[in-house]
Amino acid sequence: MGLARRRPLSNLPSRMPHALTPFDQTVLDLIDHSPTGSVPRTPTHDESITRLLAAQQVYHSADFKDGFVTTRRLASQPHFVATGLADLAAHPDDPSQLEANGTVFDRYVASLPQAQRLRAEAFRLATAGRPVHHRPKAGGVLVHDPIHSIFLVPGTGPKTGLPGNYLRGSLDELPAAGGQPRFRIQVLDSDTDAAVCELPTLAAALEHLHDLIESAPFHLSELEALGFELR
């Protein structure tokens, strides 16, 4: 989003790999080199996977049953955010400058292997919604469209993410309360598990969203450290 990279979640105790063993590092390599993220089902390997899951070093794979994916692999994957979002604070009354949600989702689907694209399309309506037709001017004044802009970032939740191991989310402008604007960021896994945060200004919401995106990959539970409520 055009800002210097920060990783606000990188120093969480859950992310510290100090308790990992040399064998755990070997298991990480096995997962990265396996086409399906599989490891042998032995007691020793199972104990290693338990440690790696607890340390947020691996997640259950969204793409392969009984497979895993490492967070270091997910850290190299792209995230998908609407172009124009970083400049929205300067023109908050004109969200039409934002890339359409459907186009953001198109870019996500195009990044996936061909075999995963059909499954990903099943999440299009729940993630991107239907195309928004901006309201016309009323009496010469442009009617303001509330902001609703989606994003997809690598990660997981109580359930796995979307194909490719992605969480889906959105930045939304809520109805004003007491004349004051409100904005919400929500992030969901492939089911209905969510992390939600409300902020008082668009600038605060954009900064919070930046921190969120630059922290990926993450588990939804980690977002409590960024002020999110788990639902």
Task: Dump pLDDT digits (tens) for 78-117.
Answer: 999 999 987 887 776 666 788 999 999 999 999 999 999 9
Q: What CATH number does the domain containing 22 carry?
A: 1.10.10
Does residue 66 share a domain with residue 46?
A: yes
Q: For the segment 42-68, what is each residue's pLDDT rounded down to a tens digit? A: 999 999 999 999 999 999 999 999 999
In a domain, 163, yes or no: yes
pLDDT recorded at residue 220 = 96
> What is the model's pTM?
0.88
Domain-located, residue 55: yes
Domain assignment present for residue 68? The answer is yes
Q: What is the pLDDT of residue 10?
A: 60
At 40, list the tokens: 């042998």
Q: Is 85 exposed, middle or buried (0-12, 13-18, 19+ CB in 10 A)?
A: buried
The last residue of one of the domains, among 76, 92, 124, is: 76
- Please report which confidence band the pLDDT of residue 1 belongs to, taking 50, 70 and 90 as the band edges: very low
For residue 70, the number of C-alpha atoms closer than 13 Å in the C-beta half-sphere is 18
Among 148, 5, 160, which Cα is nearest to 82's?
A: 148
Domain count, the chain: 2
Question: Residue 135: which domain range?
Answer: 77-230
Mark whether 183 and 150 lie in a shared domain: yes
Our measurement of the distance from residue 49's CA atom to the centroid of its chain's CA atoms, rounded to an integer in Å, reads 23
Q: In this structure, are 59 and 99 located in the same domain?
A: no
**Residue 8 domain-assigned (yes or no):** no
| Torsion angles phi and psi, residue 215, rounded to 5 | -90, -15
- Is 13 a domain residue? no
Rounded Cα gap, residues 149 and 82, in angstroms: 7
Tell me, yes or no, whether 110 and 31 share the same domain: no
Q: Please indicate, yes or no, whether residues 160 and 197 belong to a single structural domain of this protein.
A: yes
